[in-house]
Structures are given as C-alpha cells and as structure tokens.
Amino acid sequence: MSAPSLAQVLPDADLIHDRATLERAILRVADEVRADYAPEAASGGSSRPLFVTIMHGGMPFAAQLAFALGERGLDLEFDYLHATRYRGHTSGSGLAWLHRPATSMRDRRVLLADDILDEGHTLLAVKRWCEDQGAADVRVAVLAVKRHDRRVDGIDADYVGVEVPDRYVFGYGMDYREQGRNLPAIYALKA
C-alpha cells in the first residue's frame, strides 16, 4: 500500500504557522543578522558574507531572507549546497552530499540558511565541513526549530524564525514525500 499523497493529507493537517507569521519571523531574523554583520559592513570590510542555501528545503526561506537582508543594506555573495539524509523519505539515514559550494570559504564569514533544525545531523556535518574549508565564522539561520530533546551535541541555530512541535511538518521548503515545499505556510500531519 502506497503512502497517502499531499492532496490526501493536507485537508486534515494542522496549520502550525501561517504565511503572515512566517513573513514577520523572517524580517525579525533579517534584523538580527544585519545587527550582527553591521560592524563589518560599516568598517568597509572587503569581504561580503557568503550566504549558503542548503537545498532543497532551505530555498524558500533563503530567498526571502536574502531579499530582506538586501533591503537592510547587507550585500551578500551566494552559493548553495545539497546534502540530505531523507531522499524523499520521512526519516533520515546517512548523509549524502549531492553538491558542495564552489566558492572558497577560506577566511570568510559564512551564513548557512536552511528550512529546519530538527536533530541537527545534516547541519552539524555542513557546519563542520565549512569550518574544515577554512571559514572564519559559520553561522546558521533556520526558518524553524523543532521542539524536542534529541538534538545532537555541537549544533544550534544562531537565528531562528519560529518553533514547531515535535511532529512531521511540511510547507515553506519542508516536504511531505517530496511534495508541498512550495506551500506558503507550515503544516503538521495529524498525530
């Protein structure tokens, strides 16, 4: 028996955060990031922060955050990476690197943008990889943090949009079996 489709689960899903709430959260995160990066920008530092989107889930959040940072006068250099533990499933396995950034990170300030910090396996591996590449500073911005006590040691988000319950969530970059990433809100499957 195959799993239900998005069209089958969405009508019964719980709305966790609507679009307006997420948009306000992203603007708040942009203010926090800008405040942290303002001294470097004001001093005329020659190195723009390297803004790295973690694909695919981080794309909607990263795009909105990047626009908000641009509106706040923070110029960014962009790259992306694709590392996943899920591959269309609802539970993770070993980390697979599908694309690594081409931009040198040596002595750079790196801002990672992702959809969610759940247990943290992927983000920890990505952050360590950036540090191994010589990044001077690596910060993590996520749209959502899942509330639970299963987070791996060594990873936290520096910037958080919203918290979500310890349930299967989807929308705004997060998928339900590779569907629903483009929903403009965050939903949770019925418990």
Distances 131 to 117, 162, 172 between C-alpha atoms, Å: 19, 26, 28
**Residue 186 one-letter amino acid:** I
Using the 8-state DSSP alphabet, how is residue 12 labeled?
A: G
Instruction: Name the burial class of residue 99, with classes exposed (0-12), middle (13-18) and buried (19+) by CB atoms within 10 angstroms of its CB.
Output: exposed
Let me know if 12 is a catalytic residue. Answer: no
Which of the residues 115, 118, 132, 153 is marked catalytic?
118
Question: Whole-angstrom Cα distance, residue 146 to residue 114?
Answer: 13
Catalytic residues: 118
